[in-house]
């Protein structure tokens, strides 16, 4: 299958913010958030983009925003190519196709500065902490857990939201001190409800949502889900057919890139090396594959 065109940089009027992956533009009464094909690893934006990656990130977020609106309100208004969205929010007319396919028009929100991580399985940093101290996010865990094993119940493990550097884990008492007991409870309950729904939905389609992170904010005083939702960038997706506790699991994300970078001997300081074509193609295929499994649709 031919790869989509590559879009790593956008330049249209009224830039609001340019992040590692997303370019956000101010539309006046809304925002346009464009998921580019840029990719970062180890906190460094790579010189090589992944064709079509931004389409997957935008379309998959839109898919989940629609699917989970009954659980919590969200900031999603519509895709930037939708005729109603074009007529209502894009005053200067339709956007170029390569931007529209990667663009979500969203409500403006005041972000709550907490990363709300929900874990269904012990892996990644949670597994590393458990091996060292028998705890996850500062809470003691039962002895004898295996790597990639499912927790009896999903765990809410929030962190700070750092603009630069790494997020810092927060215990639940620390979270309550930071945002107040009522909001802390809302963050936990909503995060777990979203994860539980998504895990069950994905499992029926052959995908395990091992863990994910949510962001929340206020829209005209109403609590809402914001940013991206249940994408390969914000979540750890595993194939259910190959799942086997007791070892690491292959994931539908940029792990292929991280592995190659580690093996290349790169010191994780800018500039990053250029990715070989086969790594680009394999990564793009993984993103398309998980999109197809979850939505039942093929990306053109």
Residue 115 and residue 159 in contact, taking contact as beta carbons nearer than 8 Å: yes
Phi, psi for residue 250 in degrees, rounded to 5: -65, 140
Residue 40 φ/ψ region, left for φ over 0, alpha for ψ in the -120 to 50 degree band, beta for the rest: beta
pLDDT(26) > 70: yes
For the segment 18-26, the average pLDDT, to the nearest whole number, is: 97
Per domain, the residue ranges of the chain are 1-108, 111-239
pLDDT(168) > 70: yes
Q: Bridge-partner residues for 35, per DSSP?
A: 22
Quote the CA–CA distance of 46 and 257 in Å, as a whole number: 10
pLDDT at 162: 72
Architecture category of domain 111-239 in CATH:
2-Layer Sandwich (3.30)
pLDDT at 2: 57
Q: Which residue, 97, 79, 75, 102, is CA-closest to 89?
A: 79
Confidence label for 3 from pLDDT (cuts 50, 70 and 90): low
CB count within 10 Å of CB 42 equals 15
Residue 194 and residue 154 in contact, taking contact as beta carbons nearer than 8 Å: no
CB count within 10 Å of CB 26 equals 14
Could you tell me the pTM of the whole model? 0.95
CB count within 10 Å of CB 61 equals 24
Per-residue model confidence as pLDDT tens digits over 66-122: 999 999 999 999 999 999 999 999 989 999 999 999 999 999 999 999 999 999 999
Assign 199 to helix, strand or coil: helix
For the segment 140-156, the average pLDDT, to the nearest whole number, is: 96
Averaged pLDDT of the chain: 96
SS3 content of the chain, % helix, strand, coil (to 5): 30, 25, 45
pLDDT(275) > 60: yes
For the segment 187-207, the average pLDDT, to the nearest whole number, is: 98
pLDDT(299) > 90: no
pLDDT at 163: 67
For the segment 244-267, the average pLDDT, to the nearest whole number, is: 95
Quote the CA–CA distance of 179 and 172 in Å, as a whole number: 11
pLDDT at 51: 97
Tokens of residue 22, six digits? 């997303």
H helix count then E strand count, the chain: 8, 16
pLDDT at 165: 62
Q: Bridge-partner residues for 74, per DSSP?
A: 225
Q: Please state the CATH superfamily assignment of the domain spanning residues 1-108 in this structure.
A: Phosphorylase Kinase; domain 1 (3.30.200.20)
For the segment 238-262, the average pLDDT, to the nearest whole number, is: 95
């Amino acid at each position: 299958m031919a790869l989509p065109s590559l879009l790593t940089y956008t330049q249209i009027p009224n830039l609001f913010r340019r992040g590692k992956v997303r370019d956000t533009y101010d539309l006046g009464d809304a925002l346009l958030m464009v998921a580019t094909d840029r990719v970062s690893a180890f906190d460094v934006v790579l010189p090589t983009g992944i064709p079509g990656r931004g389409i997957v990130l935008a379309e998959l977020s839109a898919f989940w925003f629609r699917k989970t609106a009954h659980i919590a309100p969200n900031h999603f208004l519509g895709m930037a190519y939708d005729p109603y969205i074009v007529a209502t929010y894009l005053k200067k007319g339709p956007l170029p196709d390569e931007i529209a396919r990667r663009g979500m028009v969203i409500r403006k929100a005041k972000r709550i500065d907490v990363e709300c991580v929900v874990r269904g399985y012990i892996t990644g940093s949670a597994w590393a902490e458990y091996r060292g101290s028998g705890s996850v996010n500062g809470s003691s865990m039962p002895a004898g857990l295996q790597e990639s094993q499912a927790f009896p119940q999903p765990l809410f493990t929030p962190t700070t939201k750092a603009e630069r550097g790494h997020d810092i884990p927060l215990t639940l008492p620390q979270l309550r001190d930071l945002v107040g007991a009522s909001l802390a409870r809302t963050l936990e309950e909503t995060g777990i409800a979203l994860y539980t729904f998504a895990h069950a939905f994905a499992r029926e389609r052959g995908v395990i949502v091992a863990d994910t992170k949510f962001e929340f904010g206020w829209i005209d005083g109403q609590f809402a889900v914001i940013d991206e939702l249940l994408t390969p960038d914000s979540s750890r997706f595993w194939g259910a057919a190959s799942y086997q506790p007791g070892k690491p699991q292959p994931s539908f994300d940029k792990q292929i890139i991280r592995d190659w970078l580690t093996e290349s001997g790169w010191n994780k300081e800018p500039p990053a090396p250029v990715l070989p074509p086969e790594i680009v193609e394999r990564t793009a295929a993984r993103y398309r594959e998980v999109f197809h499994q979850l939505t039942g649709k093929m990306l053109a």
